[in-house]
Structure 1
Amino acid sequence: MLNRLSLSAFLAMTAGTAFAAQDTITLGMVLEPPNLDPTAGAAAAIDEVVYANIFEGLTRFGPDGSVRPALAASWDVEDGASTYVFHLHAGVTFHDGTAMDAEDVKFSLDRARAEDSANAQKALFAGIETVEVIDPLTVKVRLSAPNGNFPFNMAWGDAVIVAPESVETDATAPVGTGPFRFAEWVQGDHVTIERNPDYWGEPAALSKATFRFISDPTAAFAAMMAGDVDAFPNFPAPETLPQLGADPRFRVIVGSTEGETILAMNNRQPPLDDARVREAIAHAINRQEIIDGAMFGYGTPIGTHFAPHNPDYEDLTGLSAYDPERSKALLAEAGVSDLKLRLALPPPTYARRGGEIIAAQLAAAGIATEITNVEWAQWLEQVFKGKDFDLTIVSHTEPADINIYARPDYYFQYGKTEFVALMDRLNLATDAGERSAILKEAQEMIAKDYVNGYLFQLAKTGVANAKIEGLWENAPTQANDLTAVHWTE
């Protein structure tokens, strides 16, 4: 009996130890972030590590895309949506132990909207007129015009709250208020975060999470099969998903994203400054062939810069239907012959694989391309900032971001006056019906101007250990939110 009891106790103890040890996770990511400060960088990979994990904003996106309270427990809307009063949670501290209060909110918003701001989404803050500290837990934000979308704007990763004491080093050693704190960054390999023991809200179930950077699809598949990574939320080898799905060790997670995948065109670079040339390129593209060939059938065709799952979406794919003969006629009408364009391809699978297919499609319509594969940092510097490109392929994963077309200095350089006026009207509109009508007009304008080649809405194809729960199925923003992730037995 003694031996049986001892054995039972031993088994119970070892089982408990095994369960207790299962509170860490390793996630695969295709791209390494260029830095870890979401308020000073445009790369989606930054938010994929830090959003809701390390940094928090006044509001946040939930997994269903809803806007939820975060550092602000609640807010009041006054003066017809021209004034917002945010009521902050009490007892919140940054990871370095300093208090988070209304002064930090004012600092963060004023910094984001400053003339010399490095924020990649500065337009989110353009309507702010004043930020006033009422007391340590109350902030009043006055806008220059009504904006019913302001809580949505504050949910972006670019709007997280930072501290003046640590902001200068956030790019390499981020200090936020979230349920995880930064542990280490081994560049070229991984970033590790660990549970914040002093978190003001519900503590994370995971004690540690490591983000490993694996850009090669073959290596990503091998890492999953070997158990070197526990989950790959944005898996770069969709052709292997059926094999992984048939393995009981894994669960395949397929959802939607906010990622409009486009063949971006430099609208100020001759001859792409001619709408007929841009239209010719658009008609040379066979979207389904790209979805099948590059994404193995995962993706939804789009004809404008808007997510098909959005209730205000219009299907405008017919305006740029595949018609290579029409492409040739438009080029002739524009007086363009022997056209050769530079095509810059960043690392993601959709760009590298899709780029080869598009190059062949353009060639069939008489348009030659010179492909250059660029790393993410080079793409940001040369294409996004330097605007030194003709064509490029990228997924815009920011939520509901059609307003980028109102920015004349944005990398594809559109900024049409009439479109800017539309976005100004949208910012003033608070009625749902009016906002819907404006958004549809905006979709039509950029589609008919053939600003870019609209390819497909990026699917979220992920794979995870079958014992992991809480990962997002859809991606309403570019995030690997680990706040609800846990292991089951």
Structure 2
Amino acid sequence: MTTHDEMARLLAMGRIGRRDLIKGAAALGAVGAAERVLGRSAMAATPNKGGALKVAIGAGSTTDTLDPATFTDSYMQSVGFGGMRNCLTEIDNTGKLVGELAESWDASPDAKTWTFKIRKGVTFHNGKSLTAEDVIDSINHHRGEDSKSPAKPLLAPITSLKADGDNVVLTLEAGNADLPYLLSDYHIGIMPSSGDGKVDWKSGAGTGGYIIKAFEPGVRSFLERNPNYWKQGRAHFDSVEILSIIDVAARTNALTTGEVHLMDRCDLKTVHLLKRNRDVEIYDVTGTQHYTFPMLTNQAPFDNNDLRLALKYSVNREEMVQKILRGHGKVGNDTPIAPATSFYAELEQRAYDPDKAKFHLKKAGAEGLTIDLSAADAAFAGAVDAAVLYKEHAAKAGITVNVIREPNDGYWSNVWMKKGWSACYWGGRPTADWMFSTAYEAGVAWNDTYWEHEKFNKLLVAARVELDEAKRTDMYREMQTIVRDEGGVVVPMFANYVGASSTKLAHDKLAGNWDMDGHKAVERWWFA
């Protein structure tokens, strides 16, 4: 008779399907074993309503607000984007772009004019019906002259924004085939208009699956299910409590003791031990997330590209992936475009080379360099350890790295983009243009190296409107080469999303565009 271990082996080989495994397990009385092979989600295909979900997020700050223009990390992304609000479009769990508050959309042949049909019958948590005006004012919330929203550069090409009945018509200064993707950005949640061209963000009212009932920045958020949610088959929990628990040991303890049901960013040093817990399921998803060390190129000594190259040659990327990610990721090449992203260019891989580092140090006139590197585990799990490992690598190139361990609280407001060299993580973006426009285009709010490169910026604009696929591919390849060789960021590794949940939870296929099922776990998951 075939054992459940043999069935698991056959499944891995593709010799049997998931349905065969479940049927076979039932015949053997080994349903529990099948659950461990497939995950609880496969054994509970029909979502159940009810229950109080508790989530632990390894981010959050006392400076957090309900204004989506201020969202900087995974905590507010889960609360505001995953729970409270909807966007015009959504990237689903298969990576496909689908309509959310936009029922459909059409573009002119030159991709300059876009018409979005706004979904009817949708109401905000305060009872107001969704209108085109709400959409227009929500988009304009990020476009103001004084706006510091990271979404501002994404929306800057809009020259006209108007209502046409139930439709919203956007006209761009130049064509952009990626516009519907951009409007799925977690900052651009739709809020109720206050009637004066502005929106009400302070109340937290949205059209999402959950209504905010309590908000303690940097501590907890409590949400209750929206009884009038328009999206069928979503928002299954009666309530959701999202806790900011930055310390990974505390998050893990909260999960194993049953205090929470779901946590992000497992400690990769101990995740193998967590896997042994029969009440816990680990998720490990490959996406666009990458860990970086940005340098402020608008100040010395990082304004010298030879010095930047010296630091790029001074890190052993393979060892970083093995020791920091425990193999749960891929080696980076100083560009943010992930292998799974369209227009990814397979450039020659930069290797650890202390001699080349010394060569560039000498060219920069910086032999015997001593430099500070700020890090905190708020940046990414293991960031401090990664900085210490970087220090060991750089020592062989004659570089002394002083690792500055920064406080977790306030890291994003007090260290990132403020201190010369620091640790950072990016969830990545679904398209090359989106990633570059968010963090590499000159002058954008989240250009965390303050890097400016004339040719790169010209190519960015040209590639955005180029309809010839081959020409666009060549442009993005050149842009990635420029960032790798002249940019101000070290990208040593792409990290898988690794989190854990109680086996009481169930879900469908997990999205890879961001962590926690695209930050939509509170909407998509359920209790089995």
What TM-score do you get using the length of structure 1 for normalisation? 0.89
The 2-side partners of 1:115 and 1:89 are apart by 30
Counterpart secondary structure, 1:97: coil
What's 2:119 paired with? 89
What's 1:152 paired with? 181
What's 2:436 paired with? 402
The 2-side partners of 1:269 and 1:219 are apart by 38
The 1-side partners of 2:451 and 2:48 are apart by 54
The 2-side partners of 1:118 and 1:98 are apart by 28
In structure 2, relative to structure 1, the CA distance for the partners of 1:224 and 1:42 (3 Å cut) is closer
Note the 1:35-434 alignment, pairs <5 A.
35-135=65-165, 137-165=166-194, 170=201, 173-202=203-232, 203-232=234-263, 234-303=264-333, 304-316=335-347, 318=349, 320-346=350-376, 347=378, 348-375=380-407, 378-384=410-416, 387-399=417-429, 400=431, 401-403=435-437, 404-408=439-443, 410-434=447-471
What's 1:13 paired with? none
* 1:98-144 C-alpha deviation (Å, 9 max, x unpaired): 22200111111222222122311211101101111111x21111111
The 2-side partners of 1:454 and 1:25 are apart by 35
* 1:201-228 C-alpha deviation (Å, 9 max, x unpaired): 2252111111122222222221221111
After superposing the two structures, state which structure 1 stretch, 276-285 or 160-169, moved more: 160-169
Query: Please, which of 489, 506, 512 is the counterpart of residue 452 of structure 1?
Result: 489
The 2-side partners of 1:311 and 1:169 are apart by 36
The 1-side partners of 2:240 and 2:110 are apart by 43
The 1-side partners of 2:503 and 2:467 are apart by 44
In structure 2, relative to structure 1, the CA distance for the partners of 1:311 and 1:120 (3 Å cut) is closer
Q: Are the aligned partners of 1:72 and 1:88 in contact in 2 as well (CA < 8 Å)?
A: yes
Deviation at 1:200, TM superposition (A): 2.0
Counterpart secondary structure, 1:289: helix
The 1-side partners of 2:77 and 2:295 are apart by 26
In structure 2, relative to structure 1, the CA distance for the partners of 1:306 and 1:31 (3 Å cut) is same
Q: Are the aligned partners of 1:64 and 1:476 in contact in 2 as well (CA < 8 Å)?
A: no
Matched residue type, 1:144: E
Matched residue type, 2:495: L
Any runs of at least 4 consecutive aligned residues in structure 1 with deviations exceeding 6 A, and if so which?
A: 166-169
* 1:51-104 C-alpha deviation (Å, 9 max, x unpaired): 242111111111222211000100111242111111111121111112220011
In structure 2, relative to structure 1, the CA distance for the partners of 1:407 and 1:164 (3 Å cut) is same
Counterpart secondary structure, 1:155: coil
What's 2:39 paired with? none
Q: Are the aligned partners of 2:214 and 2:222 in contact in 1 as well (CA < 8 Å)?
A: yes
Q: Are the aligned partners of 1:147 and 1:430 in contact in 2 as well (CA < 8 Å)?
A: no
Q: Are the aligned partners of 2:138 and 2:199 in contact in 1 as well (CA < 8 Å)?
A: no
The 1-side partners of 2:131 and 2:458 are apart by 36
After superposing the two structures, state which structure 1 stretch, 119-128 or 473-482, moved more: 473-482
After superposing the two structures, state which structure 1 stretch, 252-261 or 367-376, moved more: 367-376
Q: Are the aligned partners of 2:358 and 2:367 in contact in 1 as well (CA < 8 Å)?
A: no
In structure 2, relative to structure 1, the CA distance for the partners of 1:189 and 1:41 (3 Å cut) is closer
The 2-side partners of 1:116 and 1:32 are apart by 25
Counterpart secondary structure, 1:258: coil
Q: Are the aligned partners of 2:49 and 2:237 in contact in 1 as well (CA < 8 Å)?
A: no
Counterpart secondary structure, 1:51: helix
* 1:402-431 C-alpha deviation (Å, 9 max, x unpaired): 232122462301120101001101221234
Counterpart secondary structure, 1:25: strand
Counterpart secondary structure, 1:223: helix
Deviation at 1:197, TM superposition (A): 0.7
Identity between Structure 1 and Structure 2 (%): 22
Q: Are the aligned partners of 1:256 and 1:474 in contact in 2 as well (CA < 8 Å)?
A: no
Deviation at 1:22, TM superposition (A): 5.4
The 2-side partners of 1:288 and 1:181 are apart by 44
After superposing the two structures, state which structure 1 stretch, 162-171 or 450-459, moved more: 162-171
The 2-side partners of 1:22 and 1:55 are apart by 20
Equivalent pairs counted in the alignment come to: 464
The 2-side partners of 1:484 and 1:132 are apart by 33
- 2:514 paired with 1:477: yes
The 1-side partners of 2:66 and 2:286 are apart by 25
The 2-side partners of 1:164 and 1:342 are apart by 46
* 1:324-356 C-alpha deviation (Å, 9 max, x unpaired): 122112212221133222212132323222112
What TM-score do you get using the length of structure 2 for normalisation? 0.83
What's 2:527 paired with? 487
Counterpart secondary structure, 1:157: coil
* 1:27-60 C-alpha deviation (Å, 9 max, x unpaired): 1110115223222333343212222421111111
Counterpart secondary structure, 1:271: coil
Counterpart secondary structure, 1:426: helix
The 2-side partners of 1:23 and 1:355 are apart by 41
Note the 1:10-29 alignment, pairs <5 A.
23-29=51-57
Q: Are the aligned partners of 1:308 and 1:457 in contact in 2 as well (CA < 8 Å)?
A: no
Q: Are the aligned partners of 2:224 and 2:238 in contact in 1 as well (CA < 8 Å)?
A: yes
The 1-side partners of 2:94 and 2:48 are apart by 30
In structure 1, list runs of 5 or more residues that go unmatched. Answer: 1-18
* 1:248-286 C-alpha deviation (Å, 9 max, x unpaired): 212111002322211111112222111111111111100
What's 2:501 paired with? 464
The CA RMSD measured in Å over matched residues stands at 2.3
In structure 2, relative to structure 1, the CA distance for the partners of 1:103 and 1:457 (3 Å cut) is same
The 2-side partners of 1:486 and 1:462 are apart by 16
* 1:408-459 C-alpha deviation (Å, 9 max, x unpaired): 4623011201010011012212343333332222111111214311111121
Counterpart secondary structure, 1:395: strand
The 1-side partners of 2:353 and 2:291 are apart by 20
Q: Are the aligned partners of 1:342 and 1:389 in contact in 2 as well (CA < 8 Å)?
A: no
Query: Please, which of 443, 457, 465 is the counterpart of residue 480 of structure 2?
Result: 443
Deviation at 1:471, TM superposition (A): 6.5
Query: Please, which of 59, 71, 94 is the counterpart of residue 31 of structure 1?
Result: 59
In structure 2, relative to structure 1, the CA distance for the partners of 1:133 and 1:305 (3 Å cut) is same
After superposing the two structures, state which structure 1 stretch, 371-380 or 82-91, moved more: 371-380
The 1-side partners of 2:491 and 2:208 are apart by 36
